[in-house]
Structure 1
Amino acid sequence: MASPPDLATMPMHAITEMYGEAGLRERFRLECAAFDDDARRRLGAALELVARLHRDDRRSHEPYLNHLLRVAIRLMHHYQIRDVEVIVAGLLHDAVEDHPAELAGAAYTGDDPTAAALATLADRFGSRVARLVAAVTNPPWDPQRDRNEQYREHLVTSLDGEPWARVIKVSDFTDNGAGIVHVVGPKVVALARKYRPLVSVFRDLVTRPDTPLSMPVRQHILDQLDLAEERFVAILDRPAHRTSDTLP
């Protein structure tokens, strides 16, 4: 598509609403223009892979790829990340969790699709990309545990020693959290309940001295976390939702 004159500065959810996946792809291309040829090739290869893996996936009213594009664009534009491996891992952050067998391909023997998928990522994009994706990949749910409690514990443990994985995950969380107003259907209440206790976790992770973000970027993220929490509270404090997950 031809680039609208304001596409490079439009909020990403506005691009999503006005131009859809094509607009986000074009914004991604504009952000990638700041990188050298090799970096653009690697970013393009990662985008091509996730577009194939998530081709049938939907997120509320939109293609799932839109979420992955917004996570990567946020890393480049708002977080000013120029580490290509981090951006590649941002694009790929759900690939192993959602499509391990398809990603692993011939390497999948039926024993451990997650390990095989991570090995495939290491072969294609390097061991660091695979390690970062592993850090943001949820383990299988233990039915003996509360699902949200297990998710929170996993975040705290897996991100503790992976500062760059924190950056990827906070971009993911921001898209999910501040962007919750764009979610439709009864799932929005369950998501608000899942995400609200995590705001304090991400505040801690973002403000740690070893988290590789500038002070202005940290403040931008903290503002986004405040906005997300306001939205969670607004959703959960609606009288109709205090005892029900059903939207009116």
Structure 2
Amino acid sequence: MDFPPHLGSMPMHAITEIHGEPGLLERFRLEVQRFDDEARARLTAALDLAAELHRDDRRVREPYLNHLLRVAIRLMHHYQVRDVDVVVAGLLHDAVEDHPAELAGDTDGDRTDAALAVLAARFGPRVARLVAAVTNPVYDPRRDRNEQYREHLAVSLEREPWARVIKVSDFTDNGVGVIHTVGSKVVSSARKYRPLVPLFRELVGRPDTPLSAEVKRHIFGQLDLAEERFSAILDVPAPN
């Protein structure tokens, strides 16, 4: 497939709409050229594992892998992340939450712990720790799920500055990208993610969040855009 020469500067959702998964894979390839051979090999191995685990998963109108690619590309391009562990964890951030059995295989113990141990063996303990920080726990069915989600993020991201970076890329894809969602999920996603805007604004602004001032300004702008889109969806005036 032929891609335009400006693919490297196109918005990722535009790539998704026009070129689909092949376009995002090519954009990922362009981004990883900035890394050395060893780093590229690790990033390719992480992408291969993500593609295998999520091969049958769908995200509304698209393959789930598209979301993982956008999260990783955003880390490399917009956030200027050159820490390979962080980008690997970005590609695999949903692996343990969504596919612990496939990762862990036959085990008599906790599948989440076993799946994280597999990631630690393949990509290193730091990658596993970052993935663990953005992996949702089992929720109490007696309590509001979205409230528990917010509580979990506040605690897990408090102690892992790089996990904040991964999660804000994930949030941006979900929040700013809410306009690319269809059906009832548009409103449910807006309700889930809107209360997180102040949390991410505070976390990103912390001195120990390892991003440049320029990148933080970019993220704040994306959070503003997400809030505008949530408001457009949820703050519908009552009919006269």
TM-score by length of 1: 0.94
Q: What is aligned with 1:167? A: 165
CA shift for structure 1 position 199 = 0.2
Equivalences, count: 239
Deviation per residue, 1:21-43 (Å, 9 max, x gap): 00000000000000000000000
AA aligned opposite 2:220: L
Q: What is aligned with 1:246? A: none
Q: What is aligned with 1:57? A: 57
Query: Is there any run of 5+ residues in structure 1 with no aligned partner, and where?
Result: 243-248
Percent pairwise identity: 76
CA distance in 1, matches of 2:112, 2:157: 18
Deviation per residue, 1:200-244 (Å, 9 max, x gap): 00000000000000000000000000000110011012358x9xx
Is structure 2 residue 44 aligned with structure 1 residue 44? yes
AA aligned opposite 1:124: R
Q: What is aligned with 2:217? A: 219
CA distance in 2, matches of 1:187, 1:16: 19
CA shift for structure 1 position 110 = 4.0
CA distance in 2, matches of 1:187, 1:10: 26
AA aligned opposite 2:155: T
CA distance in 2, matches of 1:216, 1:239: 36
Q: What is aligned with 1:176? A: 174
CA distance in 1, matches of 2:17, 2:102: 30
CA distance in 1, matches of 2:212, 2:59: 31
Q: What is aligned with 2:27? A: 27
3-state SS of 1:124 partner? helix
* Aligned residue among 153, 158, 174 for 1:155: 153
Q: What is aligned with 2:208? A: 210
CA distance in 2, matches of 1:104, 1:44: 21
TM-score by length of 2: 0.97
RMSD: 1.2
Q: What is aligned with 2:10? A: 10
CA distance in 2, matches of 1:204, 1:167: 12
AA aligned opposite 2:97: E
AA aligned opposite 1:160: E
Alignment of 1:105-144 (within 5 A): 105=105, 108-144=106-142
CA distance in 2, matches of 1:224, 1:136: 20
Q: What is aligned with 1:95? A: 95
Query: Is there any run of 5+ residues in structure 2 with no aligned partner, and where?
Result: none
Deviation per residue, 1:129-162 (Å, 9 max, x gap): 0000000000011112110110000000000010
* Deviating 4+ runs (over 4 angstroms): none
CA shift for structure 1 position 115 = 0.3
Deviation per residue, 1:35-83 (Å, 9 max, x gap): 0000000000000000000000000100000000000000000000000
CA distance in 2, matches of 1:239, 1:15: 34
CA distance in 1, matches of 2:2, 2:86: 28
Deviation per residue, 1:63-117 (Å, 9 max, x gap): 0000000000000000000000000000000000000010112xx4143110000
* Aligned residue among 182, 192, 195 for 1:194: 192
AA aligned opposite 1:99: H
